[in-house]
Structure formats: C-alpha cells, structure tokens
Amino acid sequence: MTDLAYVNGQFLPAENAVISINDRGLQFGDSVYEVVKAYGDKPVLMDEHILRLERSAHALNISLNGIIEEIDRIVPEGLQRTGFSQTIIYIQLTRGTQPRNLIFDKTIKPNLIATFRPYGLDLASMRSNGIKVSLYPDIRWAHCDLKTTNLLGNVLMKNKANDEGCFEAILFTEDGRVSEACSSSVFVVKNGVLLTTPSSENILPGVNRKYVIDIVAPQLGIPVREEHTFKDDLFTADEVFLTSTTFLVMPVIEVAGQQIANGKPGPITMSLVEQFEKNIHN
C-alpha cells in the first residue's frame, strides 16, 4: 500500500494529493496540525490530540464546524485502507483558500488534509543506544503552545542538529532556561525526580509529556516536578530524556558533544519506556 492522503472529503494516493496555491496554510503557515501514531487500527492518545487541535484552532479562530466529526470518521477509515502495522497520521487544518491577503476572510471554509504513512523509525535500536542532541537558543515565535505550521525555527534548528550528527536539538530561552526540543518535550532526571519545563507559551503542551507526568511516572512511583531547568542542569543531570508522539520516551546520552552521566540510557528513563509501552499495548 502506498502512502494515503485525504484532502477535503477525498482519499487518494499521497503523491496525487494537491491543494490550491491560495491556501493560507501554504502562504502564511495559517494552519494547525496534529501528528498521531497508530498501532494497527488503534491511534494512541487520540482524544488528547483532538483536544489540543481544538485548542489550537480556537486560539487562531479557525472554524471547527463539522471538522472533529470528519476527523473521527476519516482516521479509522484511513487506517483500514492502509493496513500498516504502525502508522503516522498527519492531520492539518488550514484556515482555507482565498487570494493572498494577510487579512483573512472570516467566511472561508477550512481545508482538512491528512496523510497516513508507515512508521519509519527503528525505535528499539535508538532506545538501546540513546540519542545525541544539540543545544541552541530558541529562535521561535511567542506562541509555541499552539500547534501551528509556523515551524521555520524548528525546521532550521533541527536541520542544523542533523548536520552536526544529532537527532534533535534542545532549545533554551534568553535567560538560559530549557524550553523544549524542536519536535519533542524535555525531561531532566535529578536525584530520582523528573523535572520538566512548566507549561507556558514557550512550549507545546506535549501529549506524551502529560501522559508521562500524569500516568506513567505515578505508576512507577517516580516524583515529577514541573520546574524550570537551565542549560547547565542538562550536563549535571543523572539522565535526560525526550518525549513525543513519534518515539514516546527517548533516552539522551549526549548534549552538545558532552556525555550525560555514563553516556548510556539511564535506568529511570528505560523504566518509563517499558511502562509506557506496556500501557499502550494493553
């Protein structure tokens, strides 16, 4: 099965899917999105992704009239049509189509786009080796809490990290506080406690971040504090790990060329990996 797309009411092969050059998502990044992973026909944490999509769309004043019902219909259908064992579902809702103008027409209808692609990461080996990350000033805009397609900062920083042989980049604000990573949330483990950046406009409220805080860590009796950490805390951490939809929990073994602890995935991180996996497969 080839990659599948859905554009405004129609499923078709992804390579044939097109959208107008007047789409505001294309012209201005005037759109919101979600990425959801599915195992077989089961999307992971779908309700949480939908809640966040609603929140992002409301903040941008993008109309959701009938959209959530449409997503609820097309996600199972897309998964059934593709039949991949693991799927990455990309859902994007743009404000709509109109001749280019910063001022949006309040009457336009949003464009709903989705793709269904097979999951491509070798998670087992990435987790057993751990990943290396870069460390950069956070150059993004002031509303990182909204999941919009304004991702140029993320794109540039993640590519720079890749060019340096790293899988991700951890970002810090002007005062040296860790915010998050280009496409994942950051946790620091210190003296048996998980520390992660408090929710604010500086970070995306990660679905997997929340699941670790609310469910996985409490199941294991691991305390969590939503508290700022600084760049230097990364280097003195017992463990560092990232969370995201595409890899759930991922151990970090090196930050900006410096080894973290003994340079191996840490025991607390790996216990979270195991418990998280157990939860979603039950």
Ligand X SMILES: Cc1ncc(COP(=O)(O)O)c(C=O)c1O
CA distance 59 to 70: 20
- Which residue among 37, 132, 147, 158 is the active-site one? 147
Which residue, 24 or 52, is less far from ligand X as judged by CB? Answer: 52
Beta bridge partners of 181: 170, 184
**Do 276 and 44 touch, CB atoms closer than 8 A?**
no
C-beta closer to ligand X: residue 97 or 147 = 147
| 266 lies in the binding site for ligand X (CB under 6 A) | no
Cα-trace Rg, the chain:
19
- Residue of 27, 134, 184, 196 interacting with ligand X (CB under 6 A): 184
| 249 part of the interface to ligand X, by CB under 6 A | no
Count CB-CB contacts under 10 A for residue 151.
15
Confirm or reject binding of residue 209 to ligand X (CB under 6 A). yes
**What span, in angstroms and rounded, lies between the C-alpha atoms of 276 and 280?**
6
Give yes or no: 109 in active site.
no
Q: Which of 111, 134, 185, 196 binds ligand X (CB under 6 A)?
A: 185
Torsion angle of alpha carbons 14, 7, 63, 38, nearest 10°? -50
98 or 199: CB nearest ligand X: 199
Of these, 5, 204, 216, 252, which contacts ligand X (CB under 6 A)? 204
244 binds ligand X (CB under 6 A): yes
d(CA 147, CA 167): 21
Residues tagged active-site: 147
The residues that touch ligand X, with contacts defined as CB under 6 A, are: 35, 180, 183-185, 204, 206-209, 243-245
